Amino acid sequence: MATLSVVLFIIFMLFIGSSSAQLSTDFYDKTCPKALSTVKSAVESAVAKEKRMGASLLRLHFHDCFVQGCDGSILLDDTSSFTGEKTAGPNRNSVRGFNVVDNIKSKVEAVCPGVVSCADILAIAARDSVVTLGGPSWKVKLGRRDSKSASLSAANSGVIPPPTSTLNNLINRFQARGLSAKDMAVLSGIYLIILLLA
C-alpha cells in the first residue's frame, strides 16, 4: 500500500507540475551540479530543528501546485501590480515554511547564482522532506520556470481545498485536477503519515 501511495503521489506531482517546458531529472546536472545536495542539506537541517517542517514543506508545494501549476507563485510577496497568494483563505494560517525556502534559495544561489528556480526548489524540498522523515524517495523532474505573478483571487477561487471542505467538495476539487476519490484518499493519507512521522 505504501508503494501505491508513493506512485500516486508522484503521478499527482507530475500531473500538476507539467507545463509546456520539458522537465527532466538531470536538468541541473551541468549548470548547477550541487543543486540537489544543497537543497537536501538545507531541508535536513530545517527538519532536524523542527520535524513538523517536513510536512509543512510538502504542504507548501501542494498548495503552490494546486492554483496555477507548480510555478512558485505561492512564494511571491504582494507588489503594486498583484496581491500574492500567501494571504488567501486556504493559505492563511495553513501554509508555512517560507523562511526555510528563502534559506534554501540563498544557499543554492551561493553555489550557482541565477540558475535554479524557486519552483524547482519547492519540488525538491517536498521530496527531500519525505525522505528525511523516513519516507520513500523518487526522482523529481526539474526545469520549471518561476511565475512572475501570483493571484490572490485564483488561490481564493476554491481550487485549494480548505480544511472546512465537505467530502463531496473535496472529491469535486480533486476531480477537477483529473484525480479520483481514491487518489485523493491516498494523497491525504501520505500527508497524514508525514505529519505522524514528524
Decide: 64 and 129 in contact? Cβ < 8 Å: no
SS3 129: helix
Q: Specify which of 4-8, 22-26, 42-46, 168-172 reaches the highest per-range mean pLDDT.
A: 42-46
Question: Which range, of 19-28, 83-92, 117-126, 147-156, averages the lowest pLDDT?
Answer: 19-28
DSSP 157: T
Instruction: List binding-site positions for substrate.
Output: 161
181 or 100, which is more confident: 100
- CATH classification code of 2-197: 1.10.520.10
Give φ, ψ of 69 to 5 degrees: 95, 170
Q: How many CB atoms lie within 10 A of CB 46?
A: 24
Question: Can you tell me the distance from the alpha carbon of 17 to that of 114, in angstroms, rounded to the nearest whole number?
Answer: 21
Q: How confident is residue 196, by pLDDT bands cut at 50, 70 and 90?
A: low
Question: Can you tell me the distance from the alpha carbon of 111 to that of 37, in angstroms, rounded to the nearest whole number?
Answer: 11
| Half-sphere exposure in the Cβ direction for 173 (13 Å, CA) | 19
Instruction: List binding-site positions for Ca(2+).
Output: 64, 67, 69, 71, 73, 85
Q: Report the pLDDT averaged over residues 30-39.
A: 98
Q: Report the pLDDT averaged over residues 19-23.
A: 65
Task: Tell me the residue type at 138.
Answer: W
pLDDT of 191 reads: 65
186 or 143, which is more confident: 143
pLDDT of 190 reads: 65
pLDDT of 101 reads: 98
Decide: 140 and 123 in contact? Cβ < 8 Å: yes
* Catalytic residue of the set 63, 105, 141, 173: 63
Q: What is the residue extent of each domain of the chain?
A: 2-197
Q: pTM of the entire structure?
A: 0.82
Question: Can you tell me the distance from the alpha carbon of 165 to that of 177, in angstroms, rounded to the nearest whole number?
Answer: 16
191 or 153, which is more confident: 153
Instruction: List binding-site positions.
Output: 64, 67, 69, 71, 73, 85, 161
Q: How confident is residue 96, by pLDDT bands cut at 50, 70 and 90?
A: very high
63 included as an active-site residue: yes
pLDDT, one tens digit per residue, over 125-165 is 999 998 998 888 889 999 999 999 998 998 988 788 776 77
